[in-house]
Amino acid sequence: MLYQLLILVSKKKLIQPDPDRKPYIVYNEYLQVWVGLQDGGRVALFSDEYDNAKPLHYDQQFKTLQRIAGCKLEKEFI
């Protein structure tokens, strides 16, 4: 019974999409778009193809990506 309660509590902590937040695309200093992570989240992948870009929604995601990428990043709201 206690185990089921912990699962319910942890499901409430999942990030729910907020309709008020605008998604944005992230560019690096070479104007390449962010397309994902590699090597267990240790390396940020960028591409010249705009269609492959993955949008972000929260500032915490952007801060984490800045730390991983180790270069200057910019946001463009879509």
28-75 residue pLDDT tens: 999 999 999 999 889 999 999 999 999 998 888 999 999 999 999 999
Q: Would you tell me how many other CB atoms lie within 10 Å of the CB of residue 44?
A: 22
- Strand ranges inside the chain, DSSP E: 24-27, 33-38, 43-47, 74-77
d(CA 70, CA 78): 24
Q: Which tens digits make up the pLDDT trace of 21-37?
A: 889 999 999 999 999 99
pLDDT at 4 > cutoff 50? no
What is the mean predicted confidence (pLDDT) over 6-14? 48
- Predicted structure pTM score: 0.72
Q: What does the mean pLDDT of the chain come to?
A: 82
Output the pLDDT for position 20: 76
